[in-house]
Chain A
Amino acid sequence: MRSRLASRYPDAQAYLFGTYANGTWLEDSALDILLVSERFKGQSFAERIAEVRRLVPSDVSFEILAYTLEEFERAKTRSVVIRDASRYWRRIM
């Protein structure tokens, strides 16, 4: 998964957050990943997620957030989800 993401988004930062990052996952929990890349510029939020979704395994549930660098900086202050996640997330790429 990482290699596919890296080949499509060479500049990407990827973070794992949510239950898999803090250890409280259940079997059917979704993998929460946050991807930051300049390649998302010009795409709608849904289009970005759809593009990333096609690169990751289809047998696992994913909750995907995809931002450009500028949006990511904004999200760290504005989004409660991102602010909380930034306390424990794991950088995976």
Chain B
Amino acid sequence: MRNADLPLCLYSWTSVSRSTTDAQPHGFNGSFNGCRWHLVRYLPKIAQESRWLGPCFCDGMDAGGTATTGYPPNRKPSRWKHEFSDLSREENQQPFWRQEVAGDSPHNSFFSAAAGLCTLRRGFQGATRQMPLMRRVRPEALDWLEEAKADFRHAMEAYRAGSDNWACLVAEQAAEKAIKAFLIGVLRKRPIHTRDLTVLHRQTRGRLKMPASTTNALAELSAYCTGARYPNSGLNRPSLSITAVQAGRAMRTARGVLAVVKRETARSG
């Protein structure tokens, strides 16, 4: 069986389903070689049945429980992609109207030609559908993570130098960038346009598992984004009012976030 030869397009061509690969066992079987095609006789019946083929394509490998009416358990669409190589052995289990057309009937030659043309056009596309999804971390996510690390280094330097407000501000930046790196790199989501760490953390939907103390401290860390910079929001000069204790807390929170994100990013490859 060659993936590129999958008879992909008959169903598209008959406008009954986008589910060309999942439609395969019902439209014609997979036991062909090269350009030899086997078609079934009763296309209207296939069209009727294909109403439930759509969802199983949309859901990828999982068709849900309702899509098996009239089919042997081992021919469920959800399992079909796994079992494609076994199709030729199972074809005798099909109802009569799904049996392949024998000989040189007009149906066979006409539909063979049409399906062959469509396959030539879309064969490559179909072949890629059969491949497992490649998963790589986006370079953009690594940029966010590296910037988070760089910010944390700056925060550490500021903390050691006694610039507590600056340490708080940059620690906030480090945590914000780390969470965005996690969202992009691990969860494959676009981060919400916000600096609110609580909202960003919520966007991870619990996938960024941090100690409760770190999660609770995000709200305070988030406040430093403006409070550690501007003298008018807190009504005091941040460089005088923010203490080393606060900076220490901010550093611990940022370090906690960064550690989890680094670990999860490494784990996701």
Contacts and interface: CB of A to CB of B under 8 A. Distances in A.
Interface of A: 28, 30, 44-47, 49-51, 53-54, 58-65, 67, 71, 74-75, 78-82
Nearest to B192: A28
B175 to A, nearest CB: 14
Nearest to B233: A65
Interface residues of B, number: 29
B89 interface: no
B68 interface: no
Contact of A80 (B168, B195, B199, B232): B232
A64 to B, nearest CB: 8
Contact of A61 (B168, B194, B223, B228): B194
Contacts of B224: 46
A49 B227 contact: yes
B226 interface: yes
B251 to A, nearest CB: 13
Given A58-B202, A60-B199, A81 B233 contact: yes
16 contacts: A28-B193, A28-B194, A44-B242, A45-B233, A46-B168, A46-B223, A46-B242, A47-B220, A53-B198, A58-B201, A61-B194, A61-B196, A67-B235, A79-B232, A80-B232, A81-B232
Contacts of A65: 233
Contacts of B150: none
A44 B199 contact: no
Q: Per DSSP, are chain B's interface residues mostly helix, strand or loop, or mixed?
A: helix
B222 A53 contact: yes
Nearest to A60: B199
B234 interface: yes
Nearest to A56: B198
A78 B246 CA distance: 25
A50 B196 CA distance: 11
A58 B199 contact: yes
Given A58-B202, A61-B196, A45 B236 contact: yes
B250 to A, nearest CB: 8
Contact of B234 (A30, A45, A59): A45
Nearest to B224: A46
Nearest to B195: A61
Interface in B82-124: none
B74 interface: no
Nearest to B198: A58
Contacts of B235: 45, 67, 71, 74-75, 78-79
Contact of B227 (A46, A71, A80): A46
